[in-house]
Structure 1
């Protein structure tokens, strides 16, 4: 089923005019690395003005300069916030976005633990960080922006989930749970607003060669694990055409194959793989952990 849906993008369809279809401005959270950065660049190439939201001011300014080099005719605005701070940051964001007609919101910001961990090993601070960054940020940013989109009856919300939403992931328990939230949330509000002209898309990529996955070098530089540039060029072509997808043909193939394998076997294999990755990372870093 997923392969059939994704095959639409393999057809040489005329690219959508995002600016005309959705509006002049795009907001991208977690926009200084990986998927978020490349998504912002691709939207800039499509002549949308960009709002970059992230926590590192140096990286924000660097990304802004890179985008303006790609397209000096657009406007790039930066908002420095740390979503791990929770509720307090959103009043500031709303003030900064006031009067900007946001056409596309990309909820990309996300975090996982430093390496695969048993649940009791995760600090309470890290648990709150994962919940604030992976769940609360997406929820509140969507609530903030969707109101104005509904008034104009156009706009797109792109929520970045993960292939880990397909099943429970041992040693990444809270992260995988947060990603099934993203998928269910996206599917639910898409149904709520199906009579409008809003696009609610959920992207569920498998492993991508980014800084987020830094605990297992075996995932790097493989044909089935693209870099962020390759992934985003593929994924952005699905916006406005496919509501729920991995965003990349090889990831769709992986998902399709998984449908025929008992979930328990997959969970056990992932547990085995993550235990090995955990052990290797601990050894590499010289951590004294059993």
Structure 2
């Protein structure tokens, strides 16, 4: 076999394995991997940013599946309404909650963790994230606005995870624990008008794998797993365009996230439409990609302007 024939065989095998992995993950893999983190009736899932959108859908889905849940928000009235809505889904569950403004510099993370120290938390889902949408140049934003976006997307999940890790490590002595970070496609592309959001999400993209490597370097083997979610467009309070194959509803996307739990992967694209979209985006020439990203940025600001008019 000459060199080029061997090279062709190796390349063909590589893509066949990629295709087989794609088919396995999205069509053949069991959908109940979440049960790995559900040990008994007292297993808790903590989900940040869970009074709206993906976070709320995750809390409801996990609660239906038998987890007790801890929900988080920054508006007391909205948080109470969310707790009541989730409790109505089944009679034998427990719903806890806590309030924290993720853009604040004065959050007592240790106090939050201490509140729930005696609970059997097996899922910690860092879902909260977002940015301000205003037509300003980078330097026109105040220093506090810049810091708020960084706290919102990068510092809050980092410091909350840090506060809960000692307790989660104790829990992991008896059964697996999963710590999840919800990311964004924007972590991989330079989207105009939201530079600090994209940069903060890029930080979050690297954090789970780095934490996983550190955990295993120190502990050797560990029952704490880390996962990063590559998240594309999802219909929610922020993105109000109609749902389609490329844009699932929050409920549909949450179901795909839960299905990805227990896969043993540190990075996943939970939704097949996002996976296909991401592959296409990565194949685009840079000049076409820049134009597409500019169009996406414009749509975000148009939607925000329409939303503001309604309010």
Fold in common (TM above 0.5) = yes
Q: 2:8 is matched with which residue?
A: none
Gaps (5+ residues) in structure 2?
Answer: 1-17
Separation in 2, partners of 1:193, 1:173: 31
Q: String of CA shifts for 1:48-91, please: whole Å, max 9, x gaps.
A: 11111111111111111111111221111111121211243323
1:73 to 92, 97, 108: 92
- Indicate conservation of the 8 Å contact 2:41/2:67, yes or no: no
Distance 1:105 1:279, change over 3 A: closer
Quick check: 1:26–1:104 contact (8 Å CA) kept in 2?
yes
- The yes-or-no answer on 1:204 pairing with 2:230 is yes
CA distance, structure 2, for counterparts of residue 33 and residue 6 of structure 1: 32
Decide which moves more: 97-106 or 257-266.
257-266
Max Rg structure: 2
Say whether the 8 Å CA contact 2:68–2:93 is kept in structure 1: yes
Q: How does 1:79-90 map to 2 (within 5 A)?
A: 79-90=98-109
Q: 2:256 aligns with which of 221, 225, 234?
A: 234
Higher relative contact order (CA 8 A, sep 6+): 1
2:268 maps to which residue?
245
- The CA deviation at 1:104 is 0.7
Report the CA distance between 1:26 and its aligned residue: 1.3
Superposed CA offset, 1:13-50 (max 9, x none):
26131312997111111110001101111111121111
The answer for the alignment partner of 2:208 in structure 1 is: 186
Q: Return 34-43 or 93-102, whichever deviates more.
A: 93-102
Contact between 1:116 and 1:275, CA under 8 Å: does it hold in 2?
Answer: no
Moved more, 124-133 or 135-144: 124-133
Change (3 A) 1:88 1:6: farther
1:167 paired to 2:189: yes
Q: Partners in 2 of 1:169 and 1:22 — Cα distance?
A: 44
Q: Is 1:20 equivalent to 2:26 in the alignment? A: no
Equivalent of residue 40 in structure 1, options 51, 59, 82:
59
Shift of 1:2: 9.0
- Partners of 1:115 and 1:252 in 2: how far apart? 30
- Note the C-alpha offset of 1:161: 0.6
Whether contact under 8 Å (1:86, 1:136) holds in the other structure is no
Structure 1 segments of 4 or more deviating over 4 A?
Answer: 279-286
CA RMSD, aligned part only? 2.6
Please state how far the C-alpha of 1:277 moved relative to its aligned partner.
Answer: 5.0
Instruction: Deviation per CA, 1:101-158: give whole Å up to 9, x if none.
Output: 3111010111211256532343333212111111111001111222222233331111
CA contact (8 A) 1:23 1:155 kept: no
Query: Does structure 2 retain, via aligned residues, the 8 Å contact 1:205–1:246?
Result: yes
